[in-house]
Structure 1
Amino acid sequence: MNYLFGTGLIGAITAGASLLRGSRDTPITWRAVLAWVSWGITLALAIGSVIDTYRSRQGRPVADDSPLTSKKAKKSAKTMKKAAKQLGNSAN
Structure 2
Amino acid sequence: MRKYIFGTGLLSAITSGLTLFRSLRSNEPFTWRTALGWLSWGITLALAIGAVVDTRRSARGKLIAGDSPLSKGEQKRLLKERVKR
Q: Same fold (TM over 0.5)?
A: yes
Distance of 2:3 and 2:52 partners within structure 1 = 10
Gaps of 5+ in 2: none
Q: Does 1:17 align with 2:18?
A: yes
* 1:63 partner SS: coil
Whether the 8 Å CA contact 1:23–1:32 is kept in 2: the answer is no
**Which has the higher Rg, Structure 1 or Structure 2?**
1
Distance of 1:80 and 1:2 partners within structure 2 = 26
Matching residue of 2:61 = 59
Distance of 2:74 and 2:6 partners within structure 1 = 23
Distance of 2:21 and 2:82 partners within structure 1 = 52
In the superposition, the TM-score normalised over structure 1's length comes to 0.81
Gaps of 5+ in 1: 85-92
RMSD (Å), alpha carbons: 1.7
In the superposition, the TM-score normalised over structure 2's length comes to 0.87
